[in-house]
């Protein structure tokens, strides 16, 4: 594949099963990503405490892939984690689990995405700020980026727009706090997607490419060529990561790869 896949780091977000070393399906999925020209993955990992990071790095390397981000959403949903919990016991539990995510991500050379883990539609800003303030010293010590994703108001009550997320980064004021724009969420929340990307330029190291219907690029109606050209034209050299529903994994990945091959 040519286009975006041959010139930039492009990954796909996946769920890593607990028995990943013996799971033939996840192995075949990784092989397909490599075949299609992807070079990275973001991984949802339910129990990172039980994973040998060196073994996982070597396994991914065998497919020509590297892990660029720990995606915390699946774990947050499974264990009711939210950094904005008003219940102090649950908030502390969430902070402690996120510390472990940062440790594991550090071993993998990756960052930690905080999207769903911010909290649901009832989430408020103050407890989130408190949690992030406790986590950023850990992130700084480990040299790991804590990546706050702007997600739409149907999913979270905080940091829905890029400017709201940027305001939190400014308040926390840590060099390890980054933000994550996602085209699916931006399509809902932003008046001008490209202007929003310009407003937070330099504050993100990756961008999620997800179509308007939460499928992968090429399965909906967003103009990804316009977005990609805009970012590259302004010097973006970070990771493009595909996140979305994949009801027919192989077909969806191949269609997305063909779509990305037309972009540069």
DSSP string, 175-223: TTEEEE-BHHHHHHH-S-HHHHHHHTTTS-SEEEE--TTSB-TTSSS--
Contact call for residues 180 and 115 (beta carbons, < 8 A): yes
111 has a pLDDT exceeding 60? yes
2 has a pLDDT exceeding 70? no
Which backbone phi and psi does 162 adopt, to 5 degrees?
A: -60, -45
What mean pLDDT is predicted for residues 187-197?
98
How is residue 259 written in tokens?
A: 């779509």
Q: Which residue has the tokens 């984690």?
A: 81
Contact call for residues 43 and 18 (beta carbons, < 8 A): no
Which backbone phi and psi does 114 adopt, to 5 degrees?
A: -110, 95
Which backbone phi and psi does 135 adopt, to 5 degrees?
A: -85, -30
CATH classification number, 4-261, choose in 3.40.190.10, 3.40.50.10800, 3.20.20.150, 1.10.490.10: 3.20.20.150
Task: Tell me the CA distances in angstroms from 228 to 147, 148, 205, 236, 259, one per residue in order.
Answer: 20, 21, 14, 9, 12
**249-261 vs 24-36: helix crossing angle, rounded to 10:** 20
Task: Give the pLDDT confidence of 221-264 residue by residue, as tens digits.
Answer: 999 999 999 999 999 999 999 999 999 999 999 999 999 998 86
Q: Is the pTM value of this prediction over 0.85?
A: yes
Contact call for residues 156 and 195 (beta carbons, < 8 A): no
32 has a pLDDT exceeding 50? yes
127 has a pLDDT exceeding 60? yes
Helices (H), 11-124: 24-36, 53-61, 73-79, 88-108
In 16-26, which positions are buried (b, 16+ CB within 10 angstroms) versus exposed (e)? beeebeeeeeb
59 has a pLDDT exceeding 80? yes
Task: Tell me the CA distances in angstroms from 136 to 79, 225, 238, one per residue in order.
Answer: 22, 35, 21
1 has a pLDDT exceeding 50? no
Give the number of other CB atoms < 10 A from CB of residue 97: 18
Any long-range contacts for 36-39 (C-beta under 8 Å, 24+ apart)?
36/1, 36/5, 36/253, 36/254, 36/257, 37/1, 37/5, 37/6, 37/10, 37/257, 37/261, 38/5, 38/10, 38/11, 38/12, 38/65, 38/257, 39/5, 39/9, 39/10, 39/11, 39/64, 39/65, 39/66
93 has a pLDDT exceeding 90? yes
Distance CA 128, CA 254 (A): 38
Predicted confidence at residue 66, as pLDDT, reads: 98
């Amino acid at each position: 594949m040519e286009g975006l896949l041959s010139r930039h780091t492009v990954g796909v977000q996946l769920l890593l099963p607990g028995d990943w070393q013996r799971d033939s399906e996840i192995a075949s999925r990784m092989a397909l990503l490599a075949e299609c020209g992807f070079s990275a993955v973001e991984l949802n990992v339910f129990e990172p405490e039980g994973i040998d990071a060196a073994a996982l790095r070597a396994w991914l390397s065998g497919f020509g892939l590297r892990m660029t981000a720990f995606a915390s959403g699946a774990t947050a949903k499974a264990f009711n984690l939210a950094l904005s919990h008003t219940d102090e016991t649950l908030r502390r539990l969430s902070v402690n689990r996120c510390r472990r995510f940062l440790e594991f991500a550090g071993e993998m050379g990756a960052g930690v995405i905080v999207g769903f883990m911010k909290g649901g539609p009832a989430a408020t800003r103050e407890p989130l700020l408190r949690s992030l303030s406790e986590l950023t010293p850990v992130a700084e010590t480990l040299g790991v980026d804590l990546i706050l994703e702007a997600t739409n108001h149907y999913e979270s009550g905080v940091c829905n727009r890029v400017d709201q997320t940027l305001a939190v980064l400014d308040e926390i004021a840590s060099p390890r706090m980054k933000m994550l724009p996602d085209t699916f969420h931006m399509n809902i929340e932003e008046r001008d997607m490209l202007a929003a990307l310009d407003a937070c330029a330099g504050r993100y190291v990756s961008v999620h490419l997800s179509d308007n219907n939460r499928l992968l690029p090429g399965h909906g109606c967003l103009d990804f060529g316009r977005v990609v050209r805009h970012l590259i034209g302004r010097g973006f050299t970070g990771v493009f990561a595909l996140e979305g529903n994949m009801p027919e994994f192989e077909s969806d990945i191949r269609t997305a790869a063909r779509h990305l091959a037309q972009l540069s």
